[in-house]
Amino acid sequence: MILASILHTTAAHLKKLTQMGLTTVSDLLHYFPRTIESTAIVQRFPDLALGQKNTVEGLLADFRRERTRHGKQLGKAALILEDQTTLQVVWFQIPYLLKNIKDETRVFLVGKVDRNYGVMQINNPEVYLSRDVHVGGLRSIYPESPPITSKWMREKIKPLLVMADECPDILPKKILKEESFLPKSEAIKAIHRPQTLEAWEQARKRLAFEEVFEIQVRVLLEKQRRESDTENPCQFTFDADQIKEDLKQLPFELTLAQKKVLFHILKDFEGDRPAHRLVQGDVGSGKTIVAFLAGLQVVRAGFQIAILAPTEILATQHFANALKFFGPNVPVELLTGSTTATKKKSIKAKLKNGDIKVLIGTHAILTHDTIFKNLGFAVIDEQHRFGVAQRAVLAENHPHVVAMTATPIPRSLALTVYGDQDISVINELPPGRKKVITRVVHTPKTRTLCEHFINDQIQKGHQIFWVCPLVDESDKIEAKNVLAEYERISQIVYPQKRVTFLHGKMKSKEKEKIMAQFKNGEFDILVSTSVIEVGVDIPNATVMVIENAERFGLSQLHQFRGRIGRNDRQSYCFLMTKEEAAYTTRLKSMERFHDGFKLAEVDLELRGMGELYGTKQSGLPDFKCADLNDLETLQLARDWAVKILEEDPSLKTWPLLKKQIEGGAVYF
């Protein structure tokens, strides 16, 4: 049932609901609260909880409007409690409900109670005239997006809960019985309007299980389909002696972790089915050389390889390294958006007849007229930056696929979302690398000291990355922008230094030119947006400055930090922020931890998966109830998914589950 036909609300609210992906009654009922809070009513002064949110009942008296010395209007009143004591009430924005309120009207106020100059005061409270969905018990708190608020959600969802009875259960009955789970309809009612904390937790756990279970069934079916339908067109046994010779030719020795992952990939080539492997490795751990070594064996076996990078800068860097690694006897080509039409046509012709053995490129590879003669191995660098459909284009050739990521994925997330792939981890950095010293800079004094230190680094011949969250000035977001920061740094802070800037709105050739100049040492400072996050190696850069660091996730900050410290010199990362709270809670993790996996776990817990991984572009689910730190539920869901598919791989026994997995709507 369409919400627009049943909800009494404004056009602005309906528009926002559509933007949030909520268009039907089912969508709204499946928009679950993120938490709950108690609104148990307090009527007597001794029962008030100082410094906390209270729900207070009493008579509102002497309501009046006043103006501050700055001209802002305040609302003030006295609340008379049951024991005849009073609370001072102050509103900084006067609620519409008070417009025509009579003196000594019984009200319920929800707000924080504090002592202010000896007077007990409740500031800016919500106002209600009766016990309803907002006061008198437990109430739901939803993810908000103005004008959609938790208050609005509670009021609109309450009358729709009767329709939850029409929501069928996709979980097999045996799971419901053995795990003592609530029926879906009861769980939906309990999570929106819980009677007790225990009831809410029971509903949340049941709904979270269903979310993870559905994903597990999907990924296991995908793996099952791939393994049953596709034979390995690139099957060969690798030569161990040849591998040893290849390793001897390297100017450095691989870490033990790199050797293990290389062995995993080489063993994949011997299997009956094309492998899908996810290689996780922290920034600077040496994933690319492992891919090159594995690819060399594929070329020797007579097959082609493709390496897909998310940006032209990174693709060009891979191309330059590949030319050195594979040597003159292996034809290597680069295909990007900047490649001329004539050159593209030539490359695609040579690719089709097998003359090109190694193709490196960006999204430009992912066109249906890019035809390989015998693609055996596809490497997708920073795979979360490519959509699911884009990655599938390469998979049509049925090669072995290795997806690489420098965004460390917590075990819980990998277990849940990447269950159809084998996972390898490079958890060592090459020997000789020093940990990047990281400091949070949150006062004018420490910023001045930091700028003096940076000047000293430049005097020593080192280079500086200076990252800002915005390109241009914004009237909606208070944050540093590249263009203004470039002016400040080049004209005021370091007028004698060579400063340039870079951002995503520039043309590809312009960006490449600036990066090449910076890499060649023609500039001391590069002021940039997050376009420098992935892949670019500037060995001479020893300092990373990140403005408004609180606006980035920990994993992204770790990615930035990984652009420096790529040699034996000591490097430094300065996280600039004005927010004391950000310093004391989240950013200090960057000072403590240098392990990307640990930071990813902290980030996941603090920010949620959607923000951390960009669910829409990466194809990851946007969880509503599931907690990826709840390993018990994740493992339980996986165990049941395995068991159900072992009993009936076609899911014919469970038609509603089958319909849901195949994309059919089983809801109303």
Are residues 161 and 27 in contact, defined by beta-carbon separation less than 8 angstroms? no
Segment 117-173, tens digit of pLDDT = 889 999 999 999 998 889 999 999 998 888 999 999 999 999 999 999 988 899 999
Residues 479 and 338 placed together within one structural domain of the fold: no
Q: Which of 361, 556, 389, 569 is nearest to 463 (CA)?
A: 569
Please give the mean pLDDT across all residues of the chain.
Answer: 86
Q: What is the DSSP letter of 663?
A: T
Segment 40-71, tens digit of pLDDT = 999 999 999 999 999 999 999 999 998 888 88
What pTM was computed for the model? 0.65
Given this model, what pLDDT does residue 477 score? 47
Are residues 389 and 605 in contact, defined by beta-carbon separation less than 8 angstroms? no
Domain boundary among the residues 551, 574, 598 is at 598
Query: What is the pLDDT averaged over residues 609-623?
Result: 49
Given this model, what pLDDT does residue 516 score? 82
Query: What is the pLDDT averaged over residues 551-567?
Result: 82
How far apart are the C-alpha atoms of 290 and 423, rounded to whole Å? 15
Q: Is the residue at 639 inside a domain?
A: no
The C-alpha torsion from 570 through 574 and 575 to 577, rounded to 10°, is 160
Report the phi/psi class of residue 398: left, alpha or beta, with left for phi > 0 and alpha for psi in -120 to 50: left
Given this model, what pLDDT does residue 508 score? 73
Q: Show the domain range for 539.
A: 437-598
Task: Count Cβ atoms below 10 Å from residue 78 Cβ, excluding itself.
Answer: 16
Task: Count Cβ atoms below 10 Å from residue 258 Cβ, excluding itself.
Answer: 21
Domain boundary among the residues 108, 136, 164 is at 136
Residues 370 and 452 placed together within one structural domain of the fold: no
Place of tokens 């500039």: 523
Residues 377 and 497 placed together within one structural domain of the fold: no
> Residue 449: pLDDT above 70?
yes
Given this model, what pLDDT does residue 617 score? 38
Query: How is residue 343 written in tokens?
Result: 């050159």
Q: What share of the chain in percent tops pLDDT 70?
A: 88
> Residue 623: pLDDT above 50?
yes
Segment 229-258, tens digit of pLDDT = 667 778 888 899 999 999 999 988 999 999
> Residue 615: pLDDT above 70?
no
Read off the amino acid at residue 113.
V
Q: What share of the chain in percent tops pLDDT 90?
A: 51
Instruction: Kindly indicate the confidence band of residue 459, based on its pLDDT and cuts at 50, 70 and 90.
Output: very high
Residues 45 and 117 placed together within one structural domain of the fold: yes
Domain boundary among the residues 376, 392, 426 is at 426
Residues 482 and 408 placed together within one structural domain of the fold: no
> Residue 354: pLDDT above 50?
yes
- HSE, CB side, 13 Å, CA atoms: give it for residue 292: 21
Segment 181-212, tens digit of pLDDT = 999 999 999 999 999 999 999 999 999 999 98
Given this model, what pLDDT does residue 507 score? 82
CATH number at residue 45: 2.40.50.140
Are residues 34 and 607 in contact, defined by beta-carbon separation less than 8 angstroms? no
Of 371 and 534, the structure prediction assigns the larger pLDDT to 371
- Encode burial over 29-54: b for 16+ CB neighbours within 10 A, e otherwise: bbbbbeebeebebbeebeebeeeeeb
| Cα end-to-end span (Å), the chain | 7
> Residue 535: pLDDT above 80?
no
Given this model, what pLDDT does residue 111 score? 94
CATH number at residue 534: 3.40.50.300
